[in-house]
Structure 1
């Protein structure tokens, strides 16, 4: 790999559309209580109709709808009260012409009825006689036996992370275990003689604690992966190649931080090329341009820039969507966002996508600038703004979408 590759950097759109490794994590079965945000291997279907019986959605009276036609305050319909339905029990009474049955919300619709009139539109004028002052159409005030889902219908689609309502839907259908993709195992490798473990009490001249690996592990876990911090590799010939060779068979994604900038001591590109195929070395994004993407023995690999800010920004833009795809989800869940107006002008270069950190206050997005070696730029930000490739900047007052950090 040579520095010339930086003059033909891929755009972020090209990366997302073109770098699509076929690897997917295998299936495993998990109990429903552990399935939140997991991705089903295939659509989960209903074993039976749901709710399984016609039920009332209001408190009122089960009726034949035709017996209420024309009812009004001035000319009510009068129906004989034939009995009542108890919650959780099969009705022991049927509705006949000119009659009605008292219904609780959620009660089983009795035979002969095709609607439920709300109690607010009724009155008991005398014992055993119900006055109805509003007509109800067939199907009113109830749900059919298969209205939530018919037997064989899809309860939750494959390829989409399960949300809290999905878990409730599955529980209602009696599904207590689901087949989902295993969480992707992500090996995080740090490189450099100057990088030392976070627990190092006293730093020597030029040494820095490995902050990037811990932050990347958080991003991986937040996206549903299982981070594995695989230690620090020194700048020695062959050391990174040996570490990658050992990690690839037990990983779904390998991330190498602090070793993708072009320089005389950069071993990443050569080590990766020795164990796999480099797809690109350079993305037209700021920060994060010196990013390497490769596929090694079918396993994707991301080589991140050495500066922590650059590494985390580019992993959010490239690594997180890739992580979801490895887990069987082709369209990653959208991040929360808000609209705000820029508090100042933003300069940019055409042909490069800029990711700008911002704080949001009272509807204004205030850009936060600082060297890419400073993590404090990210910790002070509420989210980020994208300046797209064609733009040469954005003017103060421009309404922008701010993607928020959770």
Structure 2
């Protein structure tokens, strides 16, 4: 390293497409109630068809559809009431031609029936006789035994985080253990002589509490990872290399919050180069250009700028997708977003991705600006918008997509 930042910046798109570690976390079985947002390692097949029996979707009467053809208010069809189906019990009566069986919603379709006519289109004109004023087609008012899921079909696919409805479907199929990728272990290393733990009660001039590490830990956890706070390393030569050597064996991803000065960033790059291979040193993104990506014996490493705002912005764009990918998810779930009109002109430089913090009020996105050392800009933001690499800015009034913070 020369002590000067004469590096060629890669675009964020290049980084996402090209820096793709092959490492995936091991597979483990987790109980269904702990599987939310976990990533299945393989499709989970249905042990049997769902719902497993033909069932009614309406209150009414199970019939042979042919017995209702031509029914109308002026010319009803009449069928004999043969019995009733009880919820949670198998039918004790079958439907024969010219007959019907009373059905609750969710009840098991009795033998001989191929449709359920809604109770709204019926009337009991005399004891034991049901009048039908609307025809029903075969299959009407019911679901087939395998209409929800066929036996052997995938209940959930591999590689997509499980959502609450997925857990419900798995439960309906009787799947109580799910094979998922383990949560990626993300070691977070802070550096800098000026950085002290957040528990430090009184600061001396020049000291700053480590605000980046707890925020990064939250982002890691939100992406399904397991944050490991690996402490603060001072700027002594060799100290960072020693710490990286310690944490790499127990991590799936290492994140280094580097110092803000050129010298500190050079020290980070030198330490990383000593334990791995640097893929890029510099991203065409604002804020966050001095980002470093490296492969350390198969373990990816992300070196972030020292300023908290820059570090968190870059980690959201590059680090969070890495956490998901390590857990077997190639396409991270999209964050919530909204459309809004830009409140003012935004200048940008072509070839650079600008990440602009915004506040959204009444459909208007107001950009928030401030030095990259100020976390309050992020704390006040409702989300951010992206000014893409080819653009030289956005005009006031432009409709933009705002990615919202959860």
Q: TM-score, normalised by structure 2?
A: 0.98
Q: CA deviation at 1:263?
A: 2.6
d(CA) in 1 for partners of 2:142, 2:309: 56
2:161 is aligned to 161
d(CA) in 1 for partners of 2:237, 2:180: 41
1:267 is aligned to 267
d(CA) in 2 for partners of 1:178, 1:260: 44
Is the Cα–Cα contact under 8 Å of residues 4 and 262 in structure 2 kept in the other structure?
Answer: no
2:63 is aligned to 63
1:189 is aligned to 189
d(CA) in 1 for partners of 2:297, 2:240: 16
Measured at CA, do residues 4 and 114 of structure 1 come closer, stay the same or move farther in structure 2, by a change above 3 Å? farther
Q: How does 1:35-50 map to 2 (within 5 A)?
A: 35-50=35-50
Q: How does 1:4-403 map to 2 (within 5 A)?
A: 7-259=7-259, 262-263=262-263, 266-403=266-403
Is the Cα–Cα contact under 8 Å of residues 338 and 402 in structure 1 kept in the other structure?
Answer: yes
Measured against aligned partners, the alpha-carbon deviations of 1:249-305 in whole angstroms (never above 9, x if no partner) come to 100100000247633673110000000000000000000100000010110000000
Is the Cα–Cα contact under 8 Å of residues 260 and 304 in structure 1 kept in the other structure?
Answer: no
Q: Secondary structure at the match of 1:232?
A: strand
Measured against aligned partners, the alpha-carbon deviations of 1:53-98 in whole angstroms (never above 9, x if no partner) come to 0000000000000110111111110000010001111111110111
Q: Secondary structure at the match of 2:247?
A: helix
Q: Unpaired runs of 5+ in structure 2?
A: none
Measured against aligned partners, the alpha-carbon deviations of 1:192-247 in whole angstroms (never above 9, x if no partner) come to 11111111111122111111001101111111111111100010111111100110
Is the Cα–Cα contact under 8 Å of residues 259 and 303 in structure 1 kept in the other structure?
Answer: no
d(CA) in 2 for partners of 1:23, 1:261: 32
Measured at CA, do residues 185 and 264 of structure 1 come closer, stay the same or move farther in structure 2, by a change above 3 Å? closer
d(CA) in 2 for partners of 1:277, 1:239: 19
Q: Secondary structure at the match of 1:303?
A: strand
Q: Secondary structure at the match of 2:266?
A: coil
Measured at CA, do residues 328 and 265 of structure 1 come closer, stay the same or move farther in structure 2, by a change above 3 Å? closer
Q: Secondary structure at the match of 1:140?
A: coil
Measured at CA, do residues 303 and 261 of structure 1 come closer, stay the same or move farther in structure 2, by a change above 3 Å? farther
| Number of aligned residue pairs | 406
d(CA) in 2 for partners of 1:35, 1:374: 36
d(CA) in 1 for partners of 2:337, 2:220: 20
d(CA) in 1 for partners of 2:113, 2:202: 80
Measured at CA, do residues 32 and 385 of structure 1 come closer, stay the same or move farther in structure 2, by a change above 3 Å? same
Q: Which one is further off, 365-374 or 203-212?
A: 203-212
Measured against aligned partners, the alpha-carbon deviations of 1:317-361 in whole angstroms (never above 9, x if no partner) come to 000001000000000000000000001000000000000000000
Q: TM-score, normalised by structure 1?
A: 0.98
d(CA) in 1 for partners of 2:208, 2:260: 17
Q: CA deviation at 1:166?
A: 0.4
d(CA) in 2 for partners of 1:261, 1:331: 35
d(CA) in 1 for partners of 2:347, 2:356: 10
Q: Secondary structure at the match of 1:266?
A: helix
Measured at CA, do residues 260 and 180 of structure 1 come closer, stay the same or move farther in structure 2, by a change above 3 Å? farther
Is the Cα–Cα contact under 8 Å of residues 79 and 99 in structure 2 kept in the other structure?
Answer: yes
